[in-house]
Structure 1
Amino acid sequence: MTGRLLVLVPGGSGQLGRDLAALAPSLSGVEVIAPSSAELDLTRTGDVVSAVGALAERASAAGAAPVVVNAAAYTAVDAAETDEGRAFAVNVDGPRVLAAACTSRRVPLVHLSTDYVFPGDASAPYEVDDTLGPRSAYGRTKAAGEDAVLGSGASSWVVRTAWVYGKTGKNFVETMARLEKERDTLSVVDDQTGSPTWSADLAAGLLELAGRIVAGQGPTGRVLHCTGGGTTTWCGFARAIFAELGADPERVRPCTTEEFPRPAQRPAYSVLSNASWREAGLTPLRSWQEALKAYFAAA
């Protein structure tokens, strides 16, 4: 990447936003502005327009290239089943306003999406152009958010990811680490398959993408998939976490989704093909096993 890059990250207090901000100082010429959702609420149109305008003006004054990476989202999957209006406001209306502001200021936009936009009944990794079919309120709002961004006329890209965990916030790895201390055994579903993704690795990939975009080398395809390499089940993931903690993985016992009912339907198979990422010339994320080891090594 050449030149300076100034990145605005709505949702900056989340695990991905924090990792984007933490990574920036190690990269030459990259600065990340990462306001929390309280500081920059995507449902407040005036605040969004002002934030993108300030980004463009600051970048111009500094001789930097601006870009927005939208990490803000309503991600309470089960709560969305009874609060779809709020999820729609954050996941659809907010990105639509953000995209319009980016269009008016000619600022590129990278918008994060999810494996939940697919039905989860595939037997091979989902490609970027496979038919969507969300089966939860959360998935429906994220799919509609993709449409809002891609149909806005903005210079925009959608990056779908899955099973994200990080050092901050509530996530599967932190939950398993807590439960390992609290329970002798625990049951974890073994019939849902996906690709765990460390938010620090995802952050590096997104900043690489942002650099390519502002250099005029943005991918031709406007939808990309970016996850950790390889696949596992939630049970397999939990056992790997226990192993990293020095605990007996057999303490994690497999169960079925039917034995652990949730308000929102989860995809049984939500593996995303990373072919689009590789074909764009972007660096593939390492395997989920390598990333998990690095995650605990950095603890």
Structure 2
Amino acid sequence: MTVITHSVLSELAARRYVLLLGGSGRLGQECKAHLRELGIPFWSPMRSEIDMGNLNGIAKLLATKPPVLIVNAAAFTDVDAAETHRSEARLINAEVPSTLAEIASKLDIRLIQISTDFVFSGQEGRAYHEDDEPNPINWYGATKRAGERAALMAAPSTIVLRTAWLHGNGRPSFVHAFARKLANGERVRAIADRFGSPTSAHALAGQITAICKAVLDGDDVPGGIYHAAGKGSASPFEIAHVIAGELEADVSLIAASSASELADIAPRPVYTVLDCQKIEEILGLPCQHWQDGISHTIQHAGIHGRRVA
């Protein structure tokens, strides 16, 4: 059931605002902080206020007081669970973006849809560009790709931001797991044969908020697909070494492992590095190097010294 919070909508009635979906997640929390910092009016409904599975309810909600822009950071992100909860993953990752885009097109709303590097197979052995043909190898990637296509078909002005290996301090991530073990002097096994573009949620939220401001200011922001991720490539093994450096931990605690040792339900691509040149050149939004992103997360995680609670 979708609950329309009349007090919230009345408050926003005289203002141009951003609707942020998925505000309780790692990226969503960072987006809220950035929007507040810039003084951009936004509404990020709680789960009790909006049911992402109720497509008709979402349509009625948006028609009540249309925002200028929707940021859809809501997603079914459990890659393994997506294999066994296929309908739910398809609903959240594909059908919701399609519905949002249809509404956006009718009501002249801009949509920012967050997507993933997992739309690619990872078999090219090089960084992927936006015009490379997607070929997902798991259900999560397939549903996210379906969401991209549906959104752009319904509303070509949609801005699709593909990102990867998101980390930050809104919620614990693989970065925190490595850091806590290393700070406590525990051994860490990290995959050395899987590569991606580790991305700071803080940095990505900054890019999203910059787009929001540009749209609200009436600037020309071309729709399409953009890669928005950490610059460069890294394996978890390399990430662990950077974390050890930040904590001044013993790097001998880190041992290399292979992705083949994992008991994953869903197959994972082995090389999904994203080339981010397009977003820098067309939108003027620089992408942070992945090492700087890791440093920021560690420095703001409250993990210091040799031991942590």
Q: So what's the TM-score if we normalise by structure 1? A: 0.89
The more displaced of 137-146 and 185-194 is 185-194
Partner Cα distance (1:222, 1:269) in 2: 23
1:284 is aligned, of 286, 297, 308, to 286
Whether the aligned pair in 1 keeps the contact of 2:192 and 2:256 (CA below 8 Å) is: yes
Take 1:157 and 1:11, find their aligned partners in 2: how far apart are those partners?
17
Bigger Cα displacement from structure 2, 90-99 vs 217-226? 217-226
- 2:87 equivalent to 1:44: no
Instruction: Assess, with a 3 A threshold, how the Cα gap between structure 1 residues 83 and 218 changes in structure 2: closer, same or farther.
Output: farther
Contact 1:230 1:287 in 2 (8 A): yes
Amino acid at match of 1:12: G
| CA offsets 1:73-104 (integer angstroms, 9 cap, x no match) | 00000111111111001101111111122222
**Structure 2 CA distance, aligned partners of 1:106 and 1:26?**
26
Query: Residues of 2 paired with 1:122 and 1:250: CA distance?
Result: 32
TM-superposed deviation, 1:239: 2.2
Match of 1:30 among 3, 18, 40: 40
- Are positions 1:270 and 2:272 aligned together? yes
Is the CA contact 1:8–1:55 (under 8 Å) kept in the aligned structure 2? no
2:184 and 2:139 map into 1 onto residues whose CA distance is 32
Offset, 1:115: 0.1
Structure 2 residue matching 1:293: 3-state secondary structure: helix
Give 4+ residue runs of structure 1 displaced > 4 Å after superposition: none
Query: TM-score normalized by structure 2?
Result: 0.86
Using a 3 Å threshold, how does the CA distance of structure 1 residues 178 and 50 change in structure 2: closer, same or farther?
A: farther
Secondary structure of the residue aligned to 1:193 is coil
* Alpha carbons of structure 1 residues 297 and 183: separation in structure 2 relative to 1, 3 Å: closer
For structure 1, which runs of at least 5 residues remain unmatched after alignment? 60-65
Q: Is the 8 A contact 2:76 2:93 kept in 1?
A: yes
Report SS of the residue matched to 2:125: coil
- Deviation (angstroms), 1:261: 3.1
Matches of 1:83 and 1:157, distance apart in 2: 27
Structure 2 letter corresponding to 1:298: H
Instruction: Report 1:105-120 matches (<5 A).
Output: 105-120=107-122
**Number of residue pairs the alignment of both structures matches:** 287
Once the two structures are superposed, residues 134-173 of structure 1 have per-residue CA deviations (whole angstroms, 9 ceiling, x without a partner) of 0011000000011110111363111100010111224211
**Amino-acid identity (%):** 32
CA distance in 2, matches of 1:125, 1:215: 33
- From 133, 137, 140, the counterpart of 1:138: 140
Q: 1:15 to 1:251 in 2, by over 3 A?
A: same
Secondary structure (helix, strand or coil) at the match of 1:151 reads helix
| Conservation of the 8 A alpha-carbon contact between 2:130 and 2:227 | yes
Structure 2: where are the runs of 5+ without partners?
1-14, 302-309
Q: Which residue of 2 aligns with 1:148?
A: 150
Q: Partner letter of residue 253 of structure 2?
A: R
Measured in 2, the distance between the counterparts of 1:31 and 1:250 equals 48
Once the two structures are superposed, what CA deviation does each residue of 1:33-55 show, in whole Å capped at 9, x if it has no partner? 22244532321123312332344
- Seen in structure 2, the aligned counterparts of structure 1 residues 268 and 258 have a Cα distance that, compared at 3 Å, is same
Q: Which amino acid aligns with 1:193?
A: F
Structure 1 position 212, deviation (Å): 2.6
d(CA) in 2 for partners of 1:55 and 1:247? Answer: 52
1:63 is aligned to none
Other structure's SS at 2:278 match: helix
User: Once the 2 structures are TM-superposed, how far is the Cα of residue 213 of structure 1 from its aligned partner?
Assistant: 3.3
| 2:32 maps to amino acid | A
Structure 1 residue 5: Cα displacement = 5.7
Query: Is the contact made by 1:95 and 1:145 (CA closer than 8 Å) also made in structure 2?
Result: yes
Q: Which residue of 1 aligns with 2:18?
A: 7
Q: Is the 8 A contact 2:53 2:91 kept in 1?
A: yes
1:261 partner SS: coil
Q: 1:16 to 1:287 in 2, by over 3 A?
A: same
Give, in whole Å, the separation in 1 of the partners of 2:81 and 2:182: 26
Closer, same or farther: CA 245–10 of 1 in aligned 2, 3 Å? same
Where does 1:62-73 land on structure 2 (aligned, <5 Å)?
66-73=68-75
What pairs up with 1:223-234 in 2 under 5 angstroms?
A: 223-234=225-236
Q: Which residue of 2 is the match for residue 166 of structure 1?
A: 168
Q: 2 CA distance for matches of 1:51 and 1:200?
A: 29
Q: CA RMSD in A?
A: 2.0
CA drift at 1:251: 1.0
* Map of 1:210 onto structure 2: 212
Inter-partner Cα distance in structure 2 for 1:51 and 1:242: 47
Residue 31 of structure 1: CA displacement? 2.1
Q: Paired residue for 1:199?
A: 201
Q: Matched residues in 2 for 1:43 and 1:263: separation?
A: 25
